[in-house]
Amino acid sequence: MNLRIRTFFIISSLFTIGCANGQNGGTISDDDPETSQAYAEAFLQANARGLAILNKAWQAHGDIADSSLVVALTIEVKEGIHRSQSLVVDPPYERYHLENRFFIDRKNGIEVGHFMNRFAGFDFVNIIITDDEASRDYNVLTKKYTDATSSGFDNFRYFPHPYINAALARPQHVCYEGSVDYKGKVVNRIFAGGGSSARRLYFDAEEGRLLRVEYLRNNEPYGDGVSFKDFSNFEKFGPLTLPQVIASGGNYSAGGEVVNRFELRAIDPVVNRPTHEQMIGFAPADYSQVVKNQLTELGNNIYMIENITESMEGDDYNVMFAVFEKFILVGEAPVNAATSEKVLRHIRSVSDKPIKYLVQSHHHNDHWGGIRTYIAEGATIITTEGNAAILIRIASAPSVLNPDRQSEDPKPLSIDLVTERLQMNDSANAALIYDVGPTNHAIEMLIVYFPEQGLLWQADLISYGEWDLNDPRSDHLLNKIKSLNLKVKKIAGVHGQIFEGEELQKWLSK
C-alpha cells in the first residue's frame, strides 16, 4: 500500500473517519490487493476533493497575504469561562472578563495580539507581536518581554485563516469525509493533519466558509477530548470575510463541555496598533537566577525540588516531599504526568519508602496535571470535599493520546478529605494540613505546616521573589497564620523562592 495512505489512516484513527468520498470505512489489508487498491484510489479522490474545498475557503475568506493589508479587530467576551483556573472545580464556573485586540498588519509584516484578562485573582495584560520569523511577548504589567512564545497553535487562533493555511501546508494529510448535517444544514466535512495537529473542519457548501473546527487534545489530568471553535455571522472586515461570533470550547473525558462565546468588531486600524518600535521602556525578562530541577533541603526530613519544569520563562513549579518513619508525603502534582515522573526519580534518590500521601493544594490544571501518576503509585490523595467527585472521574479518564501509568495499569482511587484540619505524625515527622479557603484564587485551598521545622508549604498565596507581597492572596495567608497561631520560620511554595529571615519576620509582624 502507498506509505502516505497507510500513515494517514494510522495517525487519524482517534477520529472515527470515513475518508473516501464519505463512503468507505473499515480495515485496509495488504493481504487483499484489490481492497487495498480500491481504498488507495478512493483516498486519492477524497484528498483531491478536500484540497479543492480548502482552496475555495481561502478565497471565500479573503487573501490574508496581501502586503498592503491592515485590519484591526476587537474580540469582546460575551460568555467567558476559565474552567482550568475557576474558583470551583465543577459548574457553575467563574465567568471572567476578556478583551482582545488583533491587528493584521501585512504592510509591516507583523500580526499583533493585545490580550486583556482577569481571572482567579490575577490580571493579565500582554501584547504579542509576531513577524515572519519569531514572536515577542510584552508583559504590560511588568514591563518585561520574552521572545519566541510557545503557546499552542489553537489557544489564540480566533479566525479561519490559520486553520485553512495549516491544512493546506500538509496536503498529503487532507481527506474529504462527505456531506454531513451541521446545525440543520448540510455542509462539507474534511479531515486534515495528523497526530497532535489532527483537525476536522466543516465548510459551508455554497459559500465555502469555514464554520467549525474540531481538534483532538489530551488535557491532563482530565483525559482525552475534542475541542472546537464555531464561526458564524460572517461580515466583511476590509478585504477579509470573518466571523462576528466565535464559540470556543471543549469536552474532556473527566469534564463536560464548556463553551466561551466571543464577539468580533472592527476598530480604527490606525489607533493603538503596537509595533516593536512603540514598546519603549520594556526590558528583556531575566530568569537567569532561576534554579533548574534542583533538590533542596528545607528542614529535617523535608525537601523541595526547585523548578521541576526547568523553565527559564518564569513558569517555575516546585514540589515538596517529607520523609516520615514509614512513608513519604508529597506536596503538589503540577503540570503533567512527565513532571510527576521526574519528581519520583528525585524522591527515590533520597528514600525508597512508599509514597503514601499526596497533598493537593487546589484543583487548578497547572497544579494537579500530574495527579494520575500518584493514583497509579497507590498514594492516597489528600484533598477537599469539592474535589472528590471530579477526582473519581480523573482516575478513570481514558488517556489514549498521551498514555500514562494510570491508563496502562489503572489503580483504584484513594482519597482523604480535609474539612478544617488533618494531622499526621510519627517518630520522624509531623504535619498539620489546613483548609484555608475560601480565597479569591480557589474556594478550597490546602496548606501544610510542619511544626518541628516551623515550615509552611503553600501554593499561589505567596510567590516570594516573583509577586508583590502587597496582594489579597498574601494578606489572606497572613491572617490565617495569625488566627491558627502557626510559628512560621520559613515559607516555601509551588512558585517562587524560599521566604525566610528578617524579611519574613517583618511581614509576619504586619
Give the pLDDT score at 151: 47
Say what angle helices 33-61 and 160-168 make with each other, to 10 degrees: 140
Give the pLDDT score at 134: 79
| Ranges assigned E (strand) in 162-220 | 174-182, 185-192, 199-204, 210-218
Give the pLDDT score at 32: 55
Q: How far apart are CA 460 and CA 467, in angstroms?
A: 10
Residues of the chain scoring pLDDT < 50: 1-14, 21-30, 150-151
pTM assigned to the model = 0.88
Give the pLDDT score at 82: 80
Give the pLDDT score at 18: 58
- Indicate the class that CATH gives domain 294-508: alpha beta
User: What are 322's strand-pairing partners?
Assistant: 302, 329
Q: What are the φ/ψ torsions at residue 506 (nearest 5 degrees)?
A: -65, -40
Q: How far apart are CA 98 and CA 76, in angstroms?
A: 6
- Is the CATH number of domain 70-284 3.30.450.20? no
- The answer to whether 70-284 and 294-508 have equal CATH topology is no
Say what angle helices 33-61 and 3-11 make with each other, to 10 degrees: 70
Q: How far apart are CA 78 and CA 220, in angstroms?
A: 27
C-alpha 368: how far from chain center: 12
Q: Where are the domains of the chain?
A: 70-284, 294-508
Give the pLDDT score at 362: 98
